[in-house]
Structures are given as structure tokens and as C-alpha cells.
Amino acid sequence: MTSLSRMLSVLNLFSAEQPKLDAEQISDAIGCSTPTGYRYVKELMQAGLLQRLNGGSYALGPRIALLDYIIRSSDPLLEISIAIMRELVEKTDCRCILSRMDGPVFLDLHHEGVPQDLQLTYGRGRPRPLFKGSAPKVIIANLPARKLRNLYEQHVEEIGQIGLGTNWKDFQEAMSRIRREGFYISNDELEAGISSISVPVKLSAKDSYAALALVTSTARFELIDQSKLLELMRLASQKITERAAAAGVLEAP
């Protein structure tokens, strides 16, 4: 790992559960000397990525908020997807969510809601469980075999507890089934009383995918024509892929 990579890895140490760290904690976590840790902290503060708090601890800096605003305003994938997501909301009266994996972290990029919408625990930027709910599964199911195997080996216990297989073969078969079907429906998996249906959105020829989900209450979901939802979602996914490729935003599949 280069010095720059190690310095930037400091930002990954902060979370909602651990929003403040001191320099010693940072140095220990990234495996460097205390003087080096202080130097990294100083450089990150100068860039506005960290700020010093009373008592000598550090938190994420104001530059992070600015970067979030910039990506919300100019992310090319969102620029293409939001209008399509709004159309889905209008047609289905469901919440529509676009999500992606960033390494080992699963994040929602955007929510489009409806009047008197559901109150969901997870929103934009808050890490979600990797194996609960429909959206992560349609992305994971489309991972290359090597990445899928690595993911399994890193989360064997969690995968078994969730019921996705007690061994590699069973997990691989479960993911292959989702990939063949091209969608996944979850009922009460991520949150009680909430159901969702997700389809993958192919972003490039190199096995890069997002997930498009429609979310509503489980009671309402049971009354909806799910085949019609799936048809609308597949058309929306295709539109996002085609428009992104046409705009030169993403590599055409």
C-alpha cells in the first residue's frame, strides 16, 4: 500500500457508529507510527477532509459534505436514472431505489418516493447488510465467479445464518438461480413489514451492475400484480443501460 493509499484509508475508519477518533487510534488502525499518523491527519485537515474537535479527536470535515452535494448534482448515472425512476414511481406508487456495491459495502445511491411514503431505516449513503433484501442479491448473483467465491469465503457464517447456503455449492446454486431469473423478491428480510423486488442494471461489459428496486409494504405487495411490476422494472433497467451507453457515460455492454 502506498503512503497516499494509506492516508486515504484513514477516511474509511469513520462511521456512524464511530464518528470520532484520536490520532493514536488512527495510527493503530492503519498500522503506522504515531508521527506518521499525525502527518496524515494534518494533510487531511488541510484538504478539508478531516476536522479537529475539542479534546483532540477528529471527525470527517466539511469538504465531505461538499463532495456529496457535487455528486448528487452531477453524477452522470443519477442524471440518467432519476427521470426513469420517477416514471416507475408514478406508475406503481412504490418507492424506487437505485443501489450499488462499493467493494465490500452496499449503498443506496438514490431514493424516489411517493406521497405518504414508507419510512425506511436505510437511505442514501448508509451501508446496508450485504445479503438482506432484494437489491444486494441481484448484484452479487452477477459477480464473476472469482469475486463470488471470495465474497462467500469472507462471509461464510453470515450467509449460512441468512439461509443462502451452508456450503459454497449451495450458495453458488442460489446465486445462479437468481442470475437466471433476472430478479429477486424479498419479504420482511431487511425490515419487518417491507417487501421489495429488484432487477440488475448492467453498467458495462465488465460485469459491473447496479440494482433497481421497487419497495412497498408487504401487505400492499401481496395485492399487486408482481409480473407487471417486473415487466416495468426490466424496461426501466434497459432504458438506463441504453441511455448511459448512448451518452458515453458507461461502456456499452
Give this prediction's pTM. 0.84
pLDDT-derived band at 124 (thresholds 50, 70, 90) equals confident
Give the pLDDT band of residue 249 (cuts 50, 70, 90).
Answer: low
Q: Which residue carries 479534546 as its cell?
A: 55
Q: What angle do CA 20, 101, 141 make, to 5 degrees?
A: 145
Domains present along the chain, CATH in parentheses: 3-66 (1.10.10.10), 75-246 (3.30.450.40)
Using alpha carbons, list the distances in angstroms from residue 205 to 54, 152, 242: 49, 23, 13
Helix, strand, or coil (residue 156): helix
Which amino acid would we find at residue 172? Q
Query: pLDDT > 90: what percent of the chain?
Result: 72
Chain segment 27-67, per-residue pLDDT in tens = 999 999 989 999 999 999 999 999 999 888 999 999 998 98
pLDDT score at 164: 93
Instruction: Return the pLDDT at 178.
Output: 96
Other CB atoms within 10 A of residue 127 CB? 14
Statement: residue 252 has pLDDT above 60: no
Write down the pLDDT at residue 250.
59
Cell readout for 131 is 445479503
